[in-house]
Amino acid sequence: MSRIDRRSLLQGGGALALTAAATTVHAQPKISNKAIKVQLSPVLRRSVNTMALNDPMLEAYRKAVAKMRTLPATDKRSWEFQAQIHNNHCPHGNWFFLPWHRAYLLAFEHICREFSGKPDFALPYWDWTGNPQLPAAFATQDYNGQPNPLFDANRSSQSVTISPTYVGAMKMSQIYAETSFEVFGSTRPSGQNSTAASWQRANGLKGPFESGPHDHVHTTINGDMMQLISPRDPIFWLHHCNIDRIWDHWNSLGRANTSDNLWRTFAFNGQFFNPSGANGTTAYNTTIAGVLDILSLGYRYTLPRFNVAVTVALLNKFINPGDPVERIPLTWGAAAKINVATVAQGKLAPPQKIKFTNAIESFQRLNLTATVAKQAQASSRIMLFIRNAEKPAEGNVDVRVFVNHPNPTADTSVRDRHYAGSFTFFGAGHDHADHGANPSYMLDITDTVSNLQIAGIDLTKDINVQLVPVPIPGEKTASEVKVGSIEVAIF
């Protein structure tokens, strides 16, 4: 029986063979909230990568942004007021992250329609996997001899390129292979037991999608994008439009959102505003259940919309991140200094060794061939929880995480077999309103641990995790990184 780990399978190109099965015919969308004017025919949100500089959608976006910038900050349709909505209300590091931003983009899109005079305006998205360089429409200070409304001088560079480590095809294949919403979309706030508004910004664990592509695009662009006031940069809206597109595509692959009513019935009230009349606005209030069907909201990303089947794909076992079968706490010492590895150490008790070994072996007992036309799902997973990472008072870093590496440094490649992932501090060290406790992160280390075991590195005696903070180009570097706790969880 051959043993195929997730990483080698993805590198082999077999991760996401997509088959268009059938076109879905949709009824005319229903209006779930009268404050949002739903298009009779859903508009198509297109990739900015395919647009000429004078594409009608980009021209409309420039016109809308320029008008919004002229309005006083007290006007709910103004550029500054829209940015402050994010600063004051956005949830990050919990399962409200995706639906809140979907509703936020929807209301903003309607404001753009009003100010552009283009009733079928649809936000473009920036597919940073297909083209990781900042789109040209945003990179020049002037356009047609006039100041470019899409330019932001505060970015680290106007030719900034996002590393494929964070947004490349292999990384995205791993994200699409996720089957658990509370890993894909980040977890519920710790202890949530009601739908009270106070839970909106309470901390859960950031999943690999939020802490990976989402956070790293923000921190790589830098400037306004580093802060919770990031919507001041016009590229923010295209970045989050792509985040929304990826969520929609994840759903189209047969992945289900959580059915938990603590999520579905949670309401976003008094936070978003739809243009109404010559100078007015009306509140756009919605529950999460009201934003789950994008066609009913009046937009789409693909034409036609297909039901797709994943073939020859190694999918992650569905898990509840709050309910592992075993927890292995690691001893964490001093704060991690820049460019220096700090080690969290753990020893496995005999019962833990058995569970750990069984988890690895069950993961490796997969026998996939190119003729398999069914989803193959791993039967065990090993996750790493990094809790209460203290936000730097100023500056930022990219914290690289390794497992049982003898001596990792800032120069150790992210292709090293010990590398497990990384995290950064989006919104840290800036004026950003109360956003709850310090962030916590969740990394899937099943693949890393399995590869190390195959290479003869025995982790059942001692399991160590190394954190190596490295500078982010163009950003002031934080002096150190502190975390509250680190644990390995077996599912």
pLDDT tens-digit series, residues 98-109: 999 999 999 999
Torsion, CA 349, CA 387, CA 201, CA 174, rounded to 10: -80
Q: E strand or H helix at 351, and its extent?
A: helix 350-364
My answer on whether 283 and 381 are in the same domain is: no
Q: What's the pTM?
A: 0.88
Domain final position from 263, 290, 314 = 314
Q: Quick: pLDDT tens for 182-205.
A: 999 999 999 999 999 999 999 999
Where is average pLDDT lowest: 12-26, 280-294, 319-333? 12-26
- Between 463 and 367, where is the model more confident? 463
My answer on whether 262 and 397 are in the same domain is: no
My answer on whether 336 and 421 are in the same domain is: yes
Q: Quick: pLDDT tens for 131-149.
A: 999 999 999 999 999 999 9
Among residues 423, 429, 432, 444, which one has the least CA distance to residue 490?
A: 444
Domain final position from 284, 314, 344 = 314
Rg (CA), the chain: 23
My answer on whether 330 and 252 are in the same domain is: no
My answer on whether 327 and 295 are in the same domain is: no
My answer on whether 275 and 344 are in the same domain is: no
Max mean pLDDT among 206-220, 275-289, 437-451 falls in 206-220
Q: Is the peptide bond before 213 cis (omega within 30 degrees of 0)?
A: no
My answer on whether 293 and 340 are in the same domain is: no
**Cα(414)–Cα(401) distance, integer angstroms:** 9
Within-domain flag for 1: no
**Cα(449)–Cα(464) distance, integer angstroms:** 11
Query: What mean pLDDT value characterizes the chain?
Result: 86
Within-domain flag for 377: yes
**Cα(356)–Cα(5) distance, integer angstroms:** 17
Within-domain flag for 332: yes
What is the CATH number for 256?
1.10.1280.10
pLDDT band, very low/low/confident/very high, at 41 (cuts 50, 70, 90): confident
- On the question of pLDDT at 78 being above 80, the answer is yes
Residue with the two structure tokens 């910004």: 201
My answer on whether 310 and 403 are in the same domain is: no
My answer on whether 306 and 336 are in the same domain is: no
My answer on whether 289 and 360 are in the same domain is: no
Domain final position from 282, 314, 346 = 314
Count of domains for the chain: 2
Within-domain flag for 300: yes
My answer on whether 300 and 378 are in the same domain is: no
- On the question of pLDDT at 11 being above 90, the answer is no
pLDDT at 309: 39
Q: What is the domain extent for residue 131? A: 6-314
What is the CATH number for 452?
2.60.120
My answer on whether 382 and 480 are in the same domain is: yes
Q: Which amino acid is residue 402, in one-letter code?
A: F
pLDDT at 19: 30
Within-domain flag for 343: yes
